[in-house]
Homo-oligomer: A and B are copies of this chain.
Amino acid sequence: MQQAIAILDSGVGGLTVAKEIMRQLPREKVIYFGDTARTPYGPRTSEEVIHFTEQIVDFLVQFDPKVIVIACNTATAAALEHIKRKVDIPVIGVIHPGARAAISATKTANIGVIGTVGTINSGAYTEALKQLSPYVHVESLACPALVPLVEQGDFRSEHAKNTVETSLSRMKEFPIDTLILGCTHYPFLTDCIKEVMGPGVKLISSADETARETSTILHDKRKLATIEDTPVHQFFCSGDPEMFQSIARSWLGEQIKNTPVVWQVSKML
Protein backbone atom coordinates (compact mmCIF):
# COMPACT_ATOMS: atom_id res chain seq x y z
CA MET A 1 0.00 0.00 0.00
CA GLN A 2 1.17 3.53 -0.76
CA GLN A 3 2.73 5.24 2.26
CA ALA A 4 1.03 8.56 2.99
CA ILE A 5 2.03 12.03 4.11
CA ALA A 6 0.37 12.52 7.50
CA ILE A 7 -0.72 16.07 8.31
CA LEU A 8 -2.06 17.29 11.63
CA ASP A 9 -3.49 20.57 12.84
CA SER A 10 -5.57 22.02 15.66
CA GLY A 11 -8.44 22.30 13.16
CA VAL A 12 -8.94 23.34 9.55
CA GLY A 13 -5.83 25.60 9.25
CA GLY A 14 -3.63 22.71 8.16
CA LEU A 15 -5.88 22.30 5.12
CA THR A 16 -3.89 25.22 3.61
CA VAL A 17 -0.77 23.03 3.91
CA ALA A 18 -2.65 19.97 2.64
CA LYS A 19 -3.85 21.91 -0.41
CA GLU A 20 -0.31 22.95 -1.34
CA ILE A 21 1.07 19.45 -0.75
CA MET A 22 -1.67 18.02 -3.00
CA ARG A 23 -0.89 20.66 -5.64
CA GLN A 24 2.92 20.39 -5.54
CA LEU A 25 3.00 16.61 -4.99
CA PRO A 26 -0.11 15.29 -6.75
CA ARG A 27 1.13 11.70 -6.66
CA GLU A 28 1.19 11.65 -2.84
CA LYS A 29 -1.59 10.31 -0.63
CA VAL A 30 -2.51 12.54 2.32
CA ILE A 31 -3.95 11.52 5.70
CA TYR A 32 -5.18 14.57 7.60
CA PHE A 33 -6.19 14.99 11.22
CA GLY A 34 -7.86 18.20 12.44
CA ASP A 35 -8.41 18.49 16.18
CA THR A 36 -11.54 20.59 15.71
CA ALA A 37 -13.01 19.57 19.08
CA ARG A 38 -10.13 21.26 20.93
CA THR A 39 -9.32 24.18 18.62
CA PRO A 40 -7.88 26.78 19.08
CA TYR A 41 -4.49 25.67 20.44
CA GLY A 42 -3.17 29.25 20.56
CA PRO A 43 -4.29 30.15 24.11
CA ARG A 44 -3.39 26.73 25.64
CA THR A 45 -0.30 25.89 27.76
CA SER A 46 2.58 24.24 25.93
CA GLU A 47 2.12 21.10 28.11
CA GLU A 48 -1.43 20.77 26.83
CA VAL A 49 -0.36 21.31 23.22
CA ILE A 50 2.42 18.70 23.56
CA HIS A 51 -0.05 16.22 25.04
CA PHE A 52 -2.63 16.77 22.27
CA THR A 53 0.02 16.56 19.55
CA GLU A 54 1.34 13.29 21.00
CA GLN A 55 -2.16 11.81 21.00
CA ILE A 56 -2.69 12.72 17.35
CA VAL A 57 0.74 11.40 16.35
CA ASP A 58 -0.09 8.11 18.12
CA PHE A 59 -3.23 7.93 15.99
CA LEU A 60 -1.45 8.81 12.75
CA VAL A 61 1.52 6.40 13.09
CA GLN A 62 -0.98 3.54 12.88
CA PHE A 63 -1.17 4.32 9.15
CA ASP A 64 2.64 3.92 8.73
CA PRO A 65 3.12 7.35 7.11
CA LYS A 66 6.39 8.25 5.34
CA VAL A 67 6.53 11.67 6.99
CA ILE A 68 4.51 13.63 9.56
CA VAL A 69 3.83 17.31 8.91
CA ILE A 70 2.86 19.34 11.98
CA ALA A 71 0.79 21.85 10.01
CA CYS A 72 0.12 24.07 13.03
CA ASN A 73 2.51 26.77 14.18
CA THR A 74 1.43 26.54 17.82
CA ALA A 75 2.03 22.77 17.87
CA THR A 76 5.33 23.18 15.97
CA ALA A 77 6.57 25.75 18.50
CA ALA A 78 5.57 23.60 21.49
CA ALA A 79 6.00 20.02 20.34
CA LEU A 80 8.18 19.61 17.20
CA GLU A 81 11.42 18.66 18.99
CA HIS A 82 9.46 16.43 21.34
CA ILE A 83 7.76 14.53 18.51
CA LYS A 84 11.03 14.28 16.54
CA ARG A 85 12.58 12.40 19.46
CA LYS A 86 9.49 10.20 19.83
CA VAL A 87 9.06 8.79 16.32
CA ASP A 88 11.44 7.20 13.86
CA ILE A 89 10.20 8.94 10.69
CA PRO A 90 10.87 12.50 9.46
CA VAL A 91 8.76 15.16 11.18
CA ILE A 92 8.40 18.56 9.54
CA GLY A 93 7.12 21.70 11.26
CA VAL A 94 5.89 24.92 9.67
CA ILE A 95 8.15 27.45 11.39
CA HIS A 96 11.54 26.86 9.76
CA PRO A 97 10.14 26.71 6.21
CA GLY A 98 8.44 30.08 6.77
CA ALA A 99 11.61 31.56 8.27
CA ARG A 100 13.73 30.36 5.34
CA ALA A 101 11.29 31.75 2.77
CA ALA A 102 11.13 35.12 4.55
CA ILE A 103 14.92 35.44 4.57
CA SER A 104 14.99 34.55 0.90
CA ALA A 105 12.27 37.13 0.10
CA THR A 106 13.25 40.18 2.16
CA LYS A 107 15.29 42.98 0.60
CA THR A 108 15.45 45.19 3.71
CA ALA A 109 15.95 42.48 6.38
CA ASN A 110 12.87 43.84 8.20
CA ILE A 111 10.52 40.92 8.72
CA GLY A 112 7.15 40.79 10.50
CA VAL A 113 5.54 37.71 12.02
CA ILE A 114 1.90 37.27 13.03
CA GLY A 115 0.63 34.21 14.88
CA THR A 116 -1.31 32.90 17.84
CA VAL A 117 -0.45 33.92 21.40
CA GLY A 118 1.26 30.55 21.90
CA THR A 119 3.41 30.86 18.78
CA ILE A 120 4.41 34.49 19.35
CA ASN A 121 5.13 34.03 23.07
CA SER A 122 7.33 31.02 22.31
CA GLY A 123 9.67 33.26 20.29
CA ALA A 124 10.12 30.35 17.88
CA TYR A 125 10.08 32.47 14.69
CA THR A 126 12.54 35.03 16.00
CA GLU A 127 14.82 32.20 17.08
CA ALA A 128 14.56 30.42 13.71
CA LEU A 129 15.18 33.66 11.79
CA LYS A 130 18.13 34.70 13.96
CA GLN A 131 19.61 31.21 13.75
CA LEU A 132 19.74 31.61 9.97
CA SER A 133 20.83 35.24 9.88
CA PRO A 134 21.99 37.57 12.65
CA TYR A 135 21.23 40.57 10.41
CA VAL A 136 17.43 40.40 10.31
CA HIS A 137 15.17 42.61 12.41
CA VAL A 138 11.98 40.85 13.50
CA GLU A 139 8.66 42.36 14.66
CA SER A 140 6.15 39.89 16.15
CA LEU A 141 2.46 40.30 16.85
CA ALA A 142 -0.11 37.91 18.30
CA CYS A 143 -3.50 38.02 16.53
CA PRO A 144 -5.78 35.82 18.68
CA ALA A 145 -8.98 36.95 16.94
CA LEU A 146 -8.13 35.39 13.56
CA VAL A 147 -8.27 31.60 14.13
CA PRO A 148 -11.88 31.68 15.46
CA LEU A 149 -12.93 33.52 12.26
CA VAL A 150 -11.48 30.77 10.08
CA GLU A 151 -12.83 27.89 12.16
CA GLN A 152 -16.29 29.43 11.67
CA GLY A 153 -15.74 29.62 7.92
CA ASP A 154 -15.89 33.44 7.93
CA PHE A 155 -13.16 34.58 5.48
CA ARG A 156 -14.55 37.59 3.62
CA SER A 157 -17.40 39.29 5.56
CA GLU A 158 -17.27 42.92 6.73
CA HIS A 159 -16.75 41.55 10.24
CA ALA A 160 -13.77 39.49 9.04
CA LYS A 161 -12.22 42.52 7.32
CA ASN A 162 -12.63 44.71 10.40
CA THR A 163 -11.17 42.05 12.66
CA VAL A 164 -8.11 41.67 10.41
CA GLU A 165 -7.65 45.45 10.21
CA THR A 166 -7.80 45.87 14.00
CA SER A 167 -5.55 42.86 14.62
CA LEU A 168 -2.82 44.11 12.23
CA SER A 169 -2.91 47.81 13.13
CA ARG A 170 0.26 47.70 15.27
CA MET A 171 2.17 45.73 12.58
CA LYS A 172 1.43 48.48 10.05
CA GLU A 173 3.60 50.90 12.08
CA PHE A 174 6.79 48.96 11.30
CA PRO A 175 8.76 49.32 8.03
CA ILE A 176 8.65 45.60 7.19
CA ASP A 177 8.80 44.39 3.57
CA THR A 178 7.94 40.74 4.36
CA LEU A 179 5.21 39.35 6.64
CA ILE A 180 5.18 35.72 7.75
CA LEU A 181 1.64 34.34 8.14
CA GLY A 182 2.79 32.38 11.19
CA CYS A 183 -0.41 30.37 11.55
CA THR A 184 -1.72 27.90 9.00
CA HIS A 185 -5.23 29.35 9.39
CA TYR A 186 -4.19 32.74 8.04
CA PRO A 187 -3.95 31.90 4.31
CA PHE A 188 -7.76 31.61 4.38
CA LEU A 189 -7.68 35.36 5.15
CA THR A 190 -4.99 36.26 2.53
CA ASP A 191 -7.23 38.69 0.63
CA CYS A 192 -8.08 40.70 3.75
CA ILE A 193 -4.46 40.66 5.02
CA LYS A 194 -3.12 41.78 1.63
CA GLU A 195 -5.58 44.65 1.53
CA VAL A 196 -4.61 45.82 5.02
CA MET A 197 -0.82 45.51 4.58
CA GLY A 198 -0.67 47.00 1.07
CA PRO A 199 1.38 46.05 -1.99
CA GLY A 200 4.79 46.85 -0.43
CA VAL A 201 4.65 43.86 1.91
CA LYS A 202 5.23 40.33 0.61
CA LEU A 203 3.17 37.70 2.45
CA ILE A 204 4.88 34.40 3.26
CA SER A 205 2.50 31.48 3.63
CA SER A 206 3.68 28.60 5.78
CA ALA A 207 1.55 26.39 3.57
CA ASP A 208 3.44 26.92 0.33
CA GLU A 209 6.85 26.75 1.98
CA THR A 210 6.10 23.68 4.06
CA ALA A 211 4.89 21.83 0.98
CA ARG A 212 8.17 22.63 -0.78
CA GLU A 213 10.17 21.56 2.25
CA THR A 214 8.21 18.29 2.45
CA SER A 215 9.09 17.72 -1.20
CA THR A 216 12.77 18.42 -0.47
CA ILE A 217 12.94 16.09 2.52
CA LEU A 218 11.09 13.24 0.75
CA HIS A 219 13.41 13.63 -2.23
CA ASP A 220 16.50 13.59 0.00
CA LYS A 221 15.26 10.39 1.67
CA ARG A 222 14.30 8.88 -1.71
CA LYS A 223 10.70 8.58 -0.54
CA LEU A 224 8.80 10.46 -3.27
CA ALA A 225 5.84 8.51 -4.68
CA THR A 226 6.19 7.03 -8.14
CA ILE A 227 2.67 5.69 -8.70
CA GLU A 228 0.55 6.76 -11.65
CA ASP A 229 -2.93 6.61 -10.06
CA THR A 230 -4.65 9.58 -8.46
CA PRO A 231 -4.33 9.00 -4.71
CA VAL A 232 -7.39 8.84 -2.46
CA HIS A 233 -6.86 11.00 0.61
CA GLN A 234 -8.29 10.45 4.09
CA PHE A 235 -9.61 13.04 6.53
CA PHE A 236 -10.25 12.76 10.24
CA CYS A 237 -11.39 15.30 12.78
CA SER A 238 -12.29 15.25 16.45
CA GLY A 239 -15.23 17.69 16.31
CA ASP A 240 -18.28 18.19 14.09
CA PRO A 241 -17.46 16.41 10.80
CA GLU A 242 -20.05 18.36 8.81
CA MET A 243 -18.52 21.76 9.52
CA PHE A 244 -15.07 20.30 8.74
CA GLN A 245 -16.29 18.69 5.54
CA SER A 246 -17.93 21.88 4.37
CA ILE A 247 -14.73 23.93 4.86
CA ALA A 248 -12.57 21.17 3.36
CA ARG A 249 -14.77 20.93 0.27
CA SER A 250 -14.81 24.68 -0.31
CA TRP A 251 -11.03 25.02 0.22
CA LEU A 252 -9.80 21.87 -1.55
CA GLY A 253 -12.51 21.49 -4.20
CA GLU A 254 -11.38 19.30 -7.09
CA GLN A 255 -8.45 17.93 -5.10
CA ILE A 256 -10.71 15.80 -2.90
CA LYS A 257 -13.39 14.82 -5.36
CA ASN A 258 -12.51 11.15 -4.79
CA THR A 259 -12.69 11.46 -1.00
CA PRO A 260 -16.15 10.47 0.16
CA VAL A 261 -16.36 11.42 3.83
CA VAL A 262 -14.65 12.86 6.86
CA TRP A 263 -14.33 10.44 9.77
CA GLN A 264 -14.93 11.70 13.26
CA VAL A 265 -12.50 10.34 15.84
CA SER A 266 -13.51 10.78 19.45
CA LYS A 267 -12.46 7.67 21.36
CA MET A 268 -8.79 8.68 21.41
CA LEU A 269 -9.36 11.92 23.28
Contact = CB atoms under 8 A, between A and B. Distances in A.
A216 B220 CA distance: 10
B212 A101 contact: yes
B220 A133 contact: no
B224 A131 contact: yes
A132 B217 contact: no
The listed residue with most B CB atoms (<10 A of its CB), out of A25, A26, A131, A215, is: A215
Contacts of A228: 134
B211 A132 contact: no
B104 A211 contact: yes
A68 to B, nearest CB: 14
A208 interface: yes
Given A90-B220, A104-B211, A216-B213, A226 B26 contact: no
Question: Most chain-B CB neighbours within 10 Å: which of A26, A131, A216?
Answer: A216
Given A20-B104, A100-B219, 12 more contacts: A24-B100, A24-B103, A24-B104, A24-B133, A25-B132, A27-B133, A100-B215, A100-B216, A104-B211, A132-B215, A212-B212, A213-B216
5 contacts: A27-B134, A97-B216, A101-B212, A131-B226, A216-B216
